[in-house]
């Protein structure tokens, strides 16, 4: 099967909200992130999506903290995982702060929430200039989209010449960060409705114990999968997962059972190469 059709699984092992009180295996320190990276790689992941925390376990955007986490992960797995950092604000950071830390770190890849970085039209020019800097620095962006309307807005920005990437990867978020949130595969359909913008490379993530079903539906429809403790702690049968690698393994089993081969990190880099 051509590499473009191989399904990439990304692991999002910690996020910025959950703590060890939610699950003792949730990774916080660089060494813990490195351990999860290696286990998730063995389970079938091609990418890891990294959050870092401060000394009190709170969400943090900090270049030194990111460098420490990146170094630990790279020591453990080398370049066998695409390493993506988050720029998520969680209500703590302004767009200029989010963009500044990304440019200070210059990671391999970064996720960017459109609603955070372009809260209104007055931020469009700064966002376009930021994306151009990422292009020059060879940092791969992935745009987080929470609604079909945001996908339409992103397409509009591209039409206006604000997106200096031909193949901009996106992530469809199926649901919201709310207590008890549970996504379903049907939540994907509005993003893929006739007339909706299409993107060359898209992933989906979901909340709750239908996570595996949601991302498998995405894979069958031409997308890719992001799973992990950031959004979900449970296996498809409702049992609490022992670790992030269990969620990756569950996704691998269902995707491969559908006859879809997995992408490696290098395959994913190639799929994003046109960005």
pLDDT per residue as tens digits for the range 121-151? 999 999 999 999 999 999 999 999 999 999 9
Mean pLDDT of 65-93: 97
Tell whether the model's pLDDT for residue 200 goes beyond 80. yes
pLDDT bracket for residue 3 (50, 70, 90) = confident
pLDDT at residue 178, rounded to an integer: 61
Tell whether the model's pLDDT for residue 274 goes beyond 60. no
pLDDT at residue 4, rounded to an integer: 79
Tell whether the model's pLDDT for residue 58 goes beyond 60. yes
Tell whether the model's pLDDT for residue 1 goes beyond 70. no
Q: Residue 75's domain is classified under what CATH number? A: 3.20.20.70
pLDDT at residue 5, rounded to an integer: 85
pLDDT per residue as tens digits for the range 34-57? 999 999 999 999 999 999 999 999
Tell whether the model's pLDDT for residue 231 goes beyond 70. yes
Mean pLDDT of 98-122: 98
Rounded to whole angstroms, the Cα distance separating 190 from 1 reads 28
pLDDT bracket for residue 175 (50, 70, 90) = confident
pTM of the model: 0.96
Count: domains in the chain:
1
Mean pLDDT of 88-102: 97
Mean pLDDT of 194-222: 96
Rounded to whole angstroms, the Cα distance separating 59 from 46 reads 24
Boundaries of domain holding 23: 3-271
Query: Average pLDDT, whole number, for the chain?
Result: 95
């Amino acid at each position: 099967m051509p590499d473009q059709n191989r399904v990439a699984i990304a692991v999002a092992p910690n996020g910025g909200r959950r703590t060890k009180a939610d699950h003792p295996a949730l990774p916080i320190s660089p060494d813990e992130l490195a351990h999860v990276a290696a286990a998730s790689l063995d389970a079938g992941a091609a990418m890891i999506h990294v959050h870092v925390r401060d000394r009190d376990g709170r969400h943090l955007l900090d270049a030194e903290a990111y460098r420490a986490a990146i170094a630990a992960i790279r020591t453990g797995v080398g370049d066998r995982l695409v390493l993506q950092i988050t720029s998520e604000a969680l209500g703590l950071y302004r767009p200029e702060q989010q963009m500044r830390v990304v440019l200070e770190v210059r990671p391999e890849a970064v996720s960017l929430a459109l609603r955070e970085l372009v809260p209104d039209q007055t931020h469009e020019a700064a966002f376009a200039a930021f994306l151009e800097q990422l292009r020059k620095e060879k940092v791969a962006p992935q745009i987080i989209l929470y609604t079909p309307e945001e996908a339409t807005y992103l397409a509009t920005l591209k039409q206006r010449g604000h997106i200096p990437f031909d193949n901009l990867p996106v992530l469809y978020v199926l649901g919201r960060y709310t207590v008890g949130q549970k996504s379903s595969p049907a939540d994907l359909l509005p993003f893929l409705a006739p007339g909706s913008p299409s993107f060359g490379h898209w992933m989906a993530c979901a909340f709750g114990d239908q996570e595996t079903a949601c991302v498998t539906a995405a894979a069958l429809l031409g997308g890719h999968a992001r799973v992990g403790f950031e959004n979900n702690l449970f296996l498809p049968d409702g049992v609490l997962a022992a670790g992030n690698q269990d969620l990756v393994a569950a996704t691998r089993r269902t995707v491969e059972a559908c006859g879809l081969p997995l992408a490696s990190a290098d395959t994913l880099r190639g799929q994003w190469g046109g960005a």
